[in-house]
Amino acid sequence: MVTEVKIGDVAFGDQHPFVLVSGPCVLEDLDMTLHIAESLKKLTDQLGIDFVFKASYDKANRTSVSSFRGPGIDAGLEMLAKVKSEFNVPVVSDVHDATQVAAASQVLDIIQIPAFLCRQTDLLVAAGNSGRVVNVKKGQFQAPWDMKHVVGKVASTGNEQILLTERGASFGYNNLVVDMRSLLIMRELGKPVIFDATHAVQLPGGADGASAGQREYVAALSRAAVAIGIDGLFWEVHPDPECARCDGPNSLYLKDLQPILESLLAVDAVVKNR
């Protein structure tokens, strides 16, 4: 059994269908952000899927110094607040150091710790102290059983509202693989687990100054993860991934989501005996 994590009407845990955590990799502009959020909200409402909107206000770990990072924390939080109020959905974004947590927690429903920072004690404790739900992405270098120490750092604040996300492990240069055992191992820590299917097919730094990706494998990996019994699915999406300013090669086309989600709901219902 895992601890149920609730944000309003959105619930992660054993008794619930998977939650879709989705949006663009990075906030590009307000019109694009609202278009993606509206499309995802309509689709998830139609399919009966709980939905959390995600987008980064700053991509602090881009491959190149010239890569687009986003609008920054102030403008980015304003955009996310607009999404939250206009579509009545929870929102999540990354924080990169402890000084960002206070401002971010005024808007975000979920404070997300990036994979590269999953061992940063001060950041984890600050996120826990925010009182918000904390989603920690397992580092590409981190064993799933070692996430118990990550959970312990957040929980040391008294905050047990913790989510864990699998996004693949480094496998040689410019490549990631997913050990599906890690989804089960992390769930044994008693926390809901999310599978980040679009980052799992990323090829970090594989495009000479940017990351490449293999979106053609997202649907299959998502089915495998849902068949294991995960609590949430993380997808980066874009109306035109080829023109996305970050992570386009591993992002899904917004127009292609419905049939994939319908098939995943069928698998989820069987696995969870619903």
Global pTM value: 0.95
Over the chain, what is the mean pLDDT?
94
- Dist. CA 55–CA 234, nearest whole Å: 11
Task: List, for residues 102-115, the tens digit of each pLDDT value.
Answer: 999 999 999 999 99
Residue 136: both structure tokens together: 């920690």
Task: List, for residues 60-116, the tens digit of each pLDDT value.
Answer: 876 778 788 888 999 999 999 999 999 999 999 999 999 999 999 999 999 999 999
Task: List, for residues 6-51, the tens digit of each pLDDT value.
Answer: 999 999 998 899 999 999 999 999 999 999 999 999 999 999 999 9
Residue 128: both structure tokens together: 């826990």
Which domains does the chain possess?
A: 5-271 (3.20.20.70)
Q: How far is CA 176 from CA 129, 170, 200, 230, 234, in A?
A: 32, 5, 6, 20, 16
**Average pLDDT, stretch 245-249?**
81
Residue 273, pLDDT > 90, answer no
pLDDT band at 209 (very low <50, low <70, confident <90, very high): low
Determine the pLDDT at residue 92.
98
